[in-house]
Amino acid sequence: MIGALSASGWLFLIVAFGAIVPVVPTGAAVSGTAALAFHEQPFLIGVVVTAGAAGAYLGDLVMYAMCRFGGEQLARRLRWLRDEEHLNGVKERLRARQVPVLLVSRLIPGGRVPVLLAAAFAGIPWHTFVVANLPACALWSVVYAAIGLAGGSIFGEPWQGVLAAVVLILLINQLVTRLARRRSPSTSDASG
């Protein structure tokens, strides 16, 4: 039990760090830990989901603070701000529907940072962001843990389940990225 709890503590730290430094594959970390918990101590899967959601939430709060206080200068320096036209569209969607936009942004690879930037630049109040981001982080952790559980239940050995979950997450990320790249030129061609 101590091993799984320790893994959940590490998961919290990895996900929080990955939410601030967006190159860390946080979804794969949640999926892998859930697959491992499935084989070793299935009753702790709730702890894995909670640790993933809490890490994502803390990381998002730090990231939102950086976007709010660092502003556009920080975003440009870190190369987060690439497409201002797209950012303006996200700002409008956020003003109309904050919770659904945050939910979707958490689930789409590479979608979270532009939405956090747009929320900060649109001046979404702290208390609104704090409340609206909570279900987004919880849903994100549940989805990635479910992927890990699927991988863990298919394979007999823990390492196979972890590997399958990580590979599946990486494949999904690649697929979504390719679809977004294909869609992006056609969208700009239609507007131009």
Q: Is residue 3 part of a domain?
A: no
Q: Is residue 127 part of a domain?
A: yes
Under the banding of pLDDT at 50, 70 and 90, the label for residue 80 is: low
**166 against 132, higher pLDDT:** 132
Q: For 145-179, how does the pLDDT look when each residue is reduced to its tens digit (9 = 90+)?
A: 988 888 777 777 767 766 776 777 677 667 766 76
Range of the domain at 152: 9-184
Structural domains counted in the chain: 1
Q: Is residue 165 part of a domain?
A: yes
The structure tokens listed for 121 are 């630049």
Query: Rounded mean pLDDT of 2-7?
Result: 63
Q: Is the Cβ–Cβ distance between 119 and 111 less than 8 Å?
A: no
Write down the mean pLDDT value for the chain.
77
Alpha-carbon gap, residue 163 to 174, rounded angstroms = 16
Alpha-carbon gap, residue 192 to 188, rounded angstroms = 6
Q: Is residue 144 part of a domain?
A: yes
The structure tokens listed for 22 are 């967006």
Q: Is residue 38 part of a domain?
A: yes
Closest CA to 168 of 67, 25, 16: 25
Q: Is residue 189 part of a domain?
A: no
Q: Is residue 2 part of a domain?
A: no
Q: For 24-56, how does the pLDDT look when each residue is reduced to its tens digit (9 = 90+)?
A: 888 888 988 888 888 888 888 899 999 999 999
Alpha-carbon gap, residue 97 to 177, rounded angstroms = 24
